[in-house]
Structure 1
Amino acid sequence: MPTGVAIRDVREQLFAAAERVLLRVGPSALTSRAVTDEAGCAKGVLHRHFADFDDFLASLVREHISQLDAHSAELADSAGSGTVADNLTRTLKDLFGPVAVAVVGLVASRDGLRARLRETTPAGLPLLTEATAVLAAYLTAEQARGRIAAEADPDTLAPTLIGTGHLLFADRTGTAPGTETVRRAVIGVLGEAVNNPTDQQTS
Structure 2
Amino acid sequence: MSPRKAAALRGGESTLREHLIATAARLIAERGTAGLTVRAIAREAGVADGVLYNHFADKEELLACALRAHVTAAGRALGALPEPGRGDLAANLRAHVLHGLALHRAILPAFAGLIGRPAVLARFGDLSDPGEDWRDRLLAYLRAERELGRLAPDARVEAAASMIVGTCHETVLAALLGSPDPPPPDIDGLVTTLLTGIAPPG
TM-score, length basis structure 2? 0.65
Structure 1: distance between partners of 2:74 and 2:85? 17
Instruction: Check 1:54–1:91 CA distance in 2 against 1; reply closer, same or farther (3 A cut).
Output: same
Structure 2: distance between partners of 1:41 and 1:151? 56
Structure 2: distance between partners of 1:77 and 1:117? 28
Structure 2: distance between partners of 1:75 and 1:15? 24
Structure 2: distance between partners of 1:68 and 1:154? 25
Residue of structure 2 equivalent to 1:199: none
Q: Determine which structure has more spread, i.e. the larger CA radius of gyration.
A: 2
More displaced 10-residue stretch of structure 1: 149-158 or 168-177: 168-177
Contact 1:140 1:154 in 2 (8 A): yes
Instruction: Check 1:140–1:106 CA distance in 2 against 1; reply closer, same or farther (3 A cut).
Output: farther
Deviations 1:67-120 (A, max 9, x none): 58858993252653141333223322442242x122333454322123334534
Higher relative contact order (CA 8 A, sep 6+): 1
Instruction: Check 1:15–1:120 CA distance in 2 against 1; reply closer, same or farther (3 A cut).
Output: closer
Of 98, 103, 112, the residue aligned with 2:119 is 112
Of 137, 142, 159, the residue aligned with 2:140 is 137
Residue of structure 2 equivalent to 1:200: none
Residue of structure 2 equivalent to 1:167: 170
5+ residue gaps, structure 1: 123-128, 196-203
Residue of structure 2 equivalent to 1:125: none
User: Is 1:88 the equivalent of 2:88?
Assistant: no
What is the CA distance between 1:55 and its match in structure 2?
0.7
Structure 2: distance between partners of 1:109 and 1:73? 31
Contact 1:33 1:43 in 2 (8 A): yes
Residue of structure 2 equivalent to 1:17: 27
Of 14, 19, 25, the residue aligned with 1:5 is 14
Structure 1: distance between partners of 2:78 and 2:26? 23
> How many pairs were matched up?
180
TM-score, length basis structure 1? 0.64
Contact 1:169 1:177 in 2 (8 A): no
Deviations 1:117-140 (A, max 9, x none): 453459xxxxxx933212111122
What is the CA distance between 1:56 and its match in structure 2?
0.5
5+ residue gaps, structure 2: 1-5, 197-202
Residue of structure 1 equivalent to 2:200: none
Instruction: Check 1:133–1:38 CA distance in 2 against 1; reply closer, same or farther (3 A cut).
Output: same
Structure 2: distance between partners of 1:177 and 1:141? 34
Structure 1: distance between partners of 2:138 and 2:192? 16
Deviations 1:46-65 (A, max 9, x none): 33432210010111133245
Contact 2:28 2:70 in 1 (8 A): no
Contact 2:108 2:172 in 1 (8 A): yes
Structure ranking higher in helix proportion? 1
SS at match of 1:75: coil
